[in-house]
Amino acid sequence: MSVSSESSALLIVGHGSTVNPDSSAPSLEQAAAIRAHDIFREVACCFWKEEPSLRDALFLFSDPEIREVYVVPNFISEGYFTQTVIPRELELDGRLTTRPDGQVWKYCEPVGNHPGVTELLLRRAREVAPQVPEAETSLVIVAHGTPLNDKSAIAAKREVEKIAALGRYASVQNAYMEESPLISDWPRLTNAPNVIVVPFFISDGLHSYEDIPVLLGIGAESGAASSPRAVFRRNPHRLHGRNLYYASAIGTEPKFAEIIIEQARAFDEAALDLRPIA
Amino acid sequence: MLPRISRALADWISAGARGIGQIEIQHDGGGFVLCHFDDIARKDLEIFRSPNDAAELAKFDDEGNYRPLKTAPNLRRGWRLELPDLEALQEALDFFYPGRLAVLAAWEANRLTTAPLRQTLHRQSGMYRVAAKISDEQIDTVVGQFCRSRGGNPGCLRTILWSRDATGARPSQHLPLEKFIAPIDQTGRGETRIPLLCQEACNLLVAEAREVVAEARETTSRAE
């Protein structure tokens, strides 16, 4: 059975936050956008750190008409949450879970795994610096990065390799907040007169509002009284003889709604591929 | 036929429920008007008309602090939300009290599963694994403060349906018995109100349990 507006529901799983009011915003906005398309009978969100919780989500799709629930993690990569927390809290047996009432829950790949993310990174870079020639620009994708097993760093690296292979930018570079190459070294890591920095995160928050700007050397410009989003509106910053353009988190891109839908559809396509060849 | 959750809401409204949590629900023709229950007599309320406005209204308290727990009794005041129909009402309530109508509908259909606190804590991994080491006495105190309907820290208006452990013991003796009986409303107003049910400890309480264990360990190690 594939995605149907009669019998399918969509559950977008986000991290959420107990301190950052903007953390759940991308998931909620994308849910609203998808609802308007009328592709699913119901569209809901749940969060690890906000309400409704992942445990609450077990009760969100109670109508007998809903025969399958597509679970799409709004996470930038596979990792601890997608592999441990979400399956445990949603009581998923694996990719396919049949509930006692016969309702089937389909556990899809996280949004960050979708090949379309590359195009969204390029789009975000063009939006933040529309008049700037790509050949005279270094693009920096900044992820968190930790000495522990951080798969978002691997995903960010994969995106950099894909964009670099296009040969459009003077250079394409990974950087991290907590491991080498550090984002604070951007003047040394890049060589073009223009530098675009895109945070590889699902939502804006402390990292994109404050931590990365400070590491870039543009944090001091943020006034406590101004909106935290003001940091994205002051481009370009003239620093170290370069023009620095700073974008908001990639997950805030509205087109992620399409990626969520595609991850649900991809589940069924992948399942078809797994059928034994007759 | 209405979907199950909408039907549960419609039944409560037609049974005369005055509101849910700190929200007063008044009929206005075929539509509904919502406001904070302490604002009923006020004429200077800011008017909103979309269920989506509820998301922003629920986000911060009167001091502008972010509200990570939407069932905490700190809903901001000063607004009036005018909604055209039951569908819009449900949408708005899903922003004000996310997931609560679904849990209520499941409870009424006898489909709600609850989990004892210790089961929730033992399931945790990573940074929350240590929370399972909390003692029964510490649970008594933490739940008594964190989940208290009025005067708690932060406090919560849900009715607790989970026990401390497999024995079925109440998690806190500091809370009144009615805190654990559904469908008793927890605002203390003595009216018919749609109850906010809690089938399992929330992530915030799990985080609080972790803090308590961590602090106790720190105190012990300092004493040594």
pLDDT digits (tens, 9 = 90+) for B68-112: 999 999 999 999 999 999 999 999 999 999 999 999 999 999 999
Q: Is A84 on the interface with B (CB under 8 A)?
A: yes
Q: Residue A147: its pLDDT value, please?
A: 56
Q: In what order do the strands lie in the sheet with A137-143?
A: A171-176, A137-143, A194-199, A242-246, A237-239
Record: contact B102-A59, CB cut-off 8 A: yes
Find which of A19, A28, A51, A90 to mutate to test the B interface (most B CBs within 10 Å of its CB): A51
Q: What CATH number does residue A190 fall under?
A: 3.40.50.1400
Residue A246 confidence (pLDDT) above 60: yes
φ and ψ of A264, to 5 deg: -65, -45
Question: How far does the CA of residue A16 sit from the closest CA of chain B (Å)?
Answer: 9
- A51 → closest Cβ in B3, B98, B123: B98
Beta bridge partners of A44: A11
Average pLDDT over residues A100-106: 96
DSSP label of A56: G
Domain range B4-108, its CATH number among 3.30.1360.190, 3.40.50.1970, 3.50.50.60, 3.30.70.580: 3.30.1360.190
- Among the ranges given (A123-137, A185-199, A218-232, A236-250), the one the predictor scored with the smallest mean pLDDT: A218-232
Q: Closest by alpha carbon to B104, among B9, B18, B35?
A: B9
Task: List C-alpha distances in Å: B72 to A24, A25, B77, B156, B180.
Answer: 18, 20, 14, 4, 16
- A59 → closest Cβ in B70, B97, B112: B112
Closest-approach residue (CA) in chain A for B70: A51
Q: Residue A272: its pLDDT value, please?
A: 64
Q: Which pLDDT band, with edges at 50, 70 and 90, does B123 fall under?
A: very high
Touching A: B residues 127-156, CB under 8 Å: none
How many H-runs (helices) and E-runs (strands) does chain A carry? 9, 10
Beta bridge partners of A73: A13
CA dihedral B175, B178, B181, B183 (to 10 degrees): -130
- Among the ranges given (A210-219, A268-277, B38-47, B104-113), the one the predictor scored with the smallest mean pLDDT: A268-277
Whether residues A118 and A238 fall in one domain = yes
Whether residues A212 and A152 fall in one domain = yes
Find which of B66, B117, B156, B157 to mutate to test the A interface (most A CBs within 10 Å of its CB): B66
> How, if at all, do strands B159-160 and A68-73 pair?
unpaired
Q: Residue B220: its pLDDT value, please?
A: 80
Record: contact A59-B99, CB cut-off 8 A: yes
Whether residues A142 and A210 fall in one domain = yes
Do B158 and B107 meet the contact criterion of CB atoms below 8 Å apart? Answer: no
Whether residues A222 and A142 fall in one domain = yes
pLDDT digits (tens, 9 = 90+) for A126-143: 999 999 999 999 999 999
Q: How many CB contacts within 8 angstroms connect chain A with chain B?
A: 69
A148-155 LR contacts (CB < 8 Å, sep 24+): A149/A79, A149/A80, A150/A79, A151/A77, A151/A78, A151/A79, A152/A76, A152/A77, A152/A79, A152/A112, A152/A200, A153/A179, A154/A77, A155/A76, A155/A77, A155/A78, A155/A112, A155/A113, A155/A200
Q: Residue B1: its pLDDT value, please?
A: 72
- Do domains B4-108 and B117-223 share one topology? The answer is no
ipTM of the complex: 0.96
* Cβ contacts of B199 on chain A, cutoff 8 Å: 55-56, 59
Whether residues A211 and A269 fall in one domain = no
Whether residues A70 and A174 fall in one domain = no
Residue A101 confidence (pLDDT) above 50: yes
- A63 → closest Cβ in B3, B98, B113: B3
Average pLDDT over residues A88-94: 96
Residue A144 confidence (pLDDT) above 90: no
DSSP label of A108: P
A167: alpha, beta or left? (left if phi > 0; alpha if psi -120 to 50): left
Whether residues A238 and A179 fall in one domain = yes
Question: Which two structure tokens, joined as six digits, stand for A242?
Answer: 């370069």
Average pLDDT over residues A244-250: 96
Whether residues A104 and A135 fall in one domain = no
Question: Which two structure tokens, joined as six digits, stand for A51?
Answer: 């309400």
Task: List C-alpha distances in Å: A47 to A25, A72, A86.
Answer: 11, 12, 10
Instruction: Count the alpha carbons within 13 Å of A6 in the hemisphere toward its beta carbon.
Output: 2
Residue A36 confidence (pLDDT) above 90: yes
Question: What residues make up the domain containing A118?
Answer: 114-200+205-247
Domain range B117-223, its CATH number among 3.40.50.720, 3.30.70.890, 3.40.30.10, 3.30.70.2320: 3.30.70.2320
Touching A: B residues 41-70, CB under 8 Å: 52, 55, 59-60, 66, 68-70
Residue A146 confidence (pLDDT) above 80: no
Q: Residue B150: its pLDDT value, please?
A: 92
Q: Closest by alpha carbon to B34, among B160, B159, B211, B194?
A: B194
Touching B: A residues 196-235, CB under 8 Å: none
* pLDDT > 70 fraction of chain B, expressed in percent and rounded: 100
Domain residue extents for chain B: 4-108, 117-223
Q: Residue A5: its pLDDT value, please?
A: 85
pLDDT digits (tens, 9 = 90+) for A3-26: 888 999 999 999 999 999 999 999
Q: Tell me the C-alpha distance between B222 and B15, whole Å.
A: 57
- A51 → closest Cβ in B70, B125, B207: B70
| Run of H or E including A143 | strand A137-143
Q: Tell me the C-alpha distance between B170 and B116, whole Å.
A: 10
